[in-house]
Amino acid sequence: MTARTINGLAVSKRLRGDYALKIKELEKQWGKRPGLAVILVGDDAASAVYVRNKERACESVGINSFHHALPSSITNAELLGLIVELNANPDVHGILVQLPLPPQIDVRAVLATISAEKDVDGFHLYNVGGLITGSTVFSPCTPFGVMKLLESENISVEGQNVVVVGASNIVGKPMALMLMQQEATVAVCHARTRDLAQFTILADILIVAAGVPNLILPQMVKRGAVVIDVGINRLPDGRIVGDVDFTGVVEKASFITPVPGGVGPMTVTMLLHNTIQAFERAQTLRQAPLAFSAFTTQN
């Protein structure tokens, strides 16, 4: 069996085309476009690349992006002050603070200060809590992108054994909750899991976000499984690879995502989705402030 490769670039391109049209309509309706503020602290090269990609994607669909580059020496109070300003700015509908942040910054305070209504990354505790009850306003972009990719191939997770490898706050944990919301049976493995293969071999759907090149070998994968590789690793020779031995596993799986060109572009696309949603919520709230509470759920 050779797996069908799920083309995240193509799915992203289609969705971004839809978003560009939608933004034109929204601009006609409301006389303004969605705006995303992106805060980059320090000079981490990888973060700078990610942020540039996000800003270019915004421009490509007609979202205004407001770039805030801050020195790594910035204080906690200064960063929180900027977020408070952006929370009050009516041209800014989404706020993204690129992680990781320098050690003097209190990441929890930063994420808690971003208004839940502008939290397009889905990292505010309100949105994180909503994942438990199925009432989150903004889903975190990477797991949301994985769900959209599965949907694009009509792969239902209901009743499936899904194994998530990696238990980060950004990917693994929210991924598990989103899968449970759709009635998957979910196991979450992590760096301390003993004998990873005894779990992965049971997976109908295997989602890997561990940040370890070649962690998943063909003998760890059930024949016919769907394999989603969230890893993005740069090898010493400069090549970008995921966490899955693609060449080996492609011969055993039924579906597989490549790296690059799989989940990566979907993460950025879901950021665009969330920013448009934040814009629409903001306009509706402005029109009928009494009809909506700040925490009305909608997805």
Q: Which of 22, 54, 173, 222 does the annotation list as catalytic?
A: 54
**Cβ–Cβ under 8 Å, residues 110 and 101:** yes
CB of 123 to ligand GUN, least distance (A): 7
Residue 175 C-beta: closest distance to ligand GUN, Å:
12
The smaller minimum CB distance to ligand GUN, of residues 50 and 199, is found at 50
Alpha-carbon gap, residue 144 to 30, rounded angstroms: 27
28 is catalytic: no
Nearest to 70 by CA among 97, 109, 94, 88: 97
Name every residue whose Cβ is closer than 8 Å to that of residue 294 and which is 6 or more positions away in sequence.
116, 117, 285
SS3 at position 64: strand
- Please give the size of the binding site for ligand GUN, defined by CB under 6 A: 9
Smallest gap from residue 166 Cβ to ligand GUN (A):
13
Instruction: Looking at residues 194 to 223 of the shown chain, list those that interact with ligand GUN (rule: CB under 6 A).
Output: none
Separation in Å, CA 133 to CA 6, 30, 129, 200: 30, 32, 7, 27
Residue 98 annotated among the catalytic residues of the structure: yes
The least CB distance from residue 85 to ligand GUN, in Å, is 18
Active-site choice (121, 229, 243, 245): 121
Q: Alpha helices of the chain — where are they, by DSSP H?
A: 8-30, 45-61, 76-88, 107-113, 125-133, 141-152, 172-181, 196-200, 246-249, 263-287
Nearer to ligand GUN by Cβ, of 168 and 185: the residue is 168
- Cβ(101)–Cβ(41) below 8 Å: yes
Q: Which residues pair with 17 in a beta bridge?
A: none
* Residues facing 228 on adjacent strands: 207
Q: Please identify which residue in 3, 111, 128, 170 interacts with ligand GUN, judged by CB under 6 A.
A: 170
Of 147, 153, 79, whose CA–CA distance to 112 is shortest?
79
139 counts as binding ligand GUN under rule CB under 6 A: no
CB of 228 to ligand GUN, least distance (A): 16
Taking CB atoms, the residue at the shortest distance from ligand GUN is 99
The verdict on whether 106 is a catalytic residue reads no
Query: In Å, how far from its chain's centre is CA 126?
Result: 17
Amino acid at 270: M
Please give the residues from 241 up to 280 whose contact with ligand GUN meets the rule CB under 6 A. Answer: 267
User: Which CB, 97 or 149, lies closer to ligand GUN?
Assistant: 97
Which is closer to ligand GUN, CB of 36 or CB of 157?
36
Taking CB under 6 A as the binding criterion, the range among 60-68, 93-101, 209-217, 256-264 that sits at the site for ligand GUN is 93-101
In 3-state terms, what secondary structure has residue 68?
strand
Least distance (Å) from ligand GUN to the CB of residue 143?
10
Interface of this chain with ligand GUN, residues 94 to 123, rule: CB under 6 A: 96-99, 121
Q: Is the Cβ of residue 249 or residue 272 nearer to ligand GUN in the bound state?
A: 272
Annotated catalytic sites, by residue?
Answer: 54, 98, 121
Residues forming the site for ligand GUN (CB under 6 A): 96-99, 121, 141-142, 170, 267
